[in-house]
Amino acid sequence: MRNIFAILFITCMHNMSLAQLLPVQYDTLKRSHEFIANGGLDFSSSALQNALTSKFIRGGLITNDIKNASFDRHKPINRIGGSFSTDLEYRNYTIRMFKKRDWGMIFKAGAFAFGGAIYSDDAYGLIFYGNDRYVGDTIDMSGMNLTFTSMQKIGVGLIDVKSKSSVSLNIYNVSNRISSNFRDLEVIQSTDGQEVEVIMDGEVEVRNNLKFNQGIGFGVDIDYKLPISLKENQTAYVQFLVQNIGFAYLYEQQKVYNVDTTISYSGFQFDELIGDNAIVFDSVDVLDTIGIRSTTKNRAIMLPGFIQIGKMVDSHNKSMFQSFFGVRLYPTLIYSPYIYVGVHMIATEKIYVGANVGYGGFANFRGGLYAGMNFDHLSVGLGTENIIGMISKKGNGQSLYLRVRCVF
């Protein structure tokens, strides 16, 4: 059992690599063509320090000091998660789809991965310390939830030439999905460690083969800009951004393990149940006898899209400083609403910089920095939502975003 929790935990951290916060400088200038490339890598945790998580990526010895430093930050409920995204977009403003409307066309393609987990401090203790810490006690891991989805998309849509608001319809290939949910999960040991009772109620779902095409999905992207008058001759723009919202059908059957049982053992050490030679995982027959049922099913799932509402940076505003702020939501309980606020500064005619702070998501409080350059036909921006994580082993994750825009 300890093995399965460790596998799920490590798989989550290796597979997860967010919606971009790097402020998009909004302009209403007339364009003919526009290419935009976005890339982002972000993972974070409410309790795990980089000194620990980096060992799973780069390798190395996990010392007791490293384990203890992360364990001391744990609370009864903890989060870990993140995402990877790469997105290419081509906008053609010269195509007129409707005579009475000034709409061009938009084409896009991308690859995305999103995952995360909610877990208890006892789950961390079992994975990294084993059962010795809990002899004569109860290991409570109820409510543990994990999800991961990777997918690729192509889309086509319409874009308003004047406001740059757009909508696109997308088709998705779902290449991998992992899901687990334990409503009840407790391990109770006697004071001598000789008697163990395991109470489990939940399910684990993984793909049943290694095919790249596990399912097909359909969804939408919506980017709506709303102008708001602040003062006389001054306008701010609020962006309503929806990406990858939709559903998918997994036509490749998924392997589902359902558990609703109470298991009691006596006469041997706990490591014989959960160690490297764990008897409960020797065969499928043993799994069946202890109440773990294995089936294969097709699934309909919700795509891991997100919604972000916030004030944008206006490239027509010549003020040295501008504010931006907003909120980001994913349709999953493992990700809490992320609220951010920042300041954008024009350093020179072509160079801009900015800073932001945010709270929520997977990691509670975080601070970020970004910088970029604007040329006549090209702009480049680079930023992070977690500056502490980028420079310190005591940070709680890492984040890096890149945006390149070419207009002509």
- Domain positions in the chain: 2-17+28-407
DSSP single-letter state for residue 16: -
**Does pLDDT of 304 surpass 50?**
yes
Which residue, among 330, 323, 397, has the nearest Cα to 354 in the 3D structure? Answer: 323
The answer to whether 91 touches 33, Cβ cutoff 8 Å, is: yes
**Does pLDDT of 270 surpass 90?**
no
Read off the pLDDT band of 266 (50, 70, 90): low
**Does pLDDT of 24 surpass 60?**
yes
Angstrom distances, CA of residue 28 to CA of 118, 141, 223, 225, 226: 42, 52, 14, 11, 12
Q: What percent of the chain has pLDDT over 70?
A: 87
Q: Which residue has the higher pLDDT, 66 or 266?
A: 66
Residue 282 is predicted with a pLDDT of: 43
Q: Which helix (H) or strand (E) holds 52?
A: helix 50-58
**Does pLDDT of 1 surpass 50?**
no
Instruction: Work out whether strand 25-26 and strand 313-314 pair parallel, antiparallel, or are unpaired.
Output: parallel
Residue 121 is predicted with a pLDDT of: 93
Read off the pLDDT band of 289 (50, 70, 90): low
**Does pLDDT of 349 surpass 60?**
yes
**Mean pLDDT score of the chain, rounded to an integer?**
85
- CA–CA separation, 120 vs 75, rounded Å? 7
Which residue, among 354, 349, 350, has the nearest Cα to 378 in the 3D structure? Answer: 350
Q: Which residue has the higher pLDDT, 398 or 275?
A: 398
Residue 22 is predicted with a pLDDT of: 61
Read off the pLDDT band of 58 (50, 70, 90): confident
Count of CB atoms within 10 A of residue 58's CB? 7
Torsional sign, CA 216, 147, 397, 239: positive
Q: Which residue has the higher pLDDT, 177 or 9?
A: 177
**Does pLDDT of 396 surpass 70?**
yes
Q: Which residue has the higher pLDDT, 69 or 17?
A: 69
**Does pLDDT of 81 surpass 80?**
yes
Q: Which helix (H) or strand (E) holds 401?
A: strand 397-407
Given phi > 0 = left and psi -120 to 50 = alpha, else beta, which region is 164? Answer: left
Q: What percent of the chain has pLDDT over 90?
A: 55
Residue 21 is predicted with a pLDDT of: 54
Query: 189-230: per-residue pLDDT in tens?
Result: 888 767 888 888 999 999 999 999 999 999 999 999 998 887
**Does pLDDT of 339 surpass 50?**
yes
**Does pLDDT of 179 surpass 70?**
yes
Query: CA triplet 203, 209, 210: central angle to 5 degrees?
Result: 120
Read off the pLDDT band of 267 (50, 70, 90): low
Residue 290 is predicted with a pLDDT of: 60
Residue 196 is predicted with a pLDDT of: 82
Residue 291 is predicted with a pLDDT of: 66
Torsional sign, CA 268, 274, 277, 281: positive
The answer to whether 26 touches 34, Cβ cutoff 8 Å, is: no
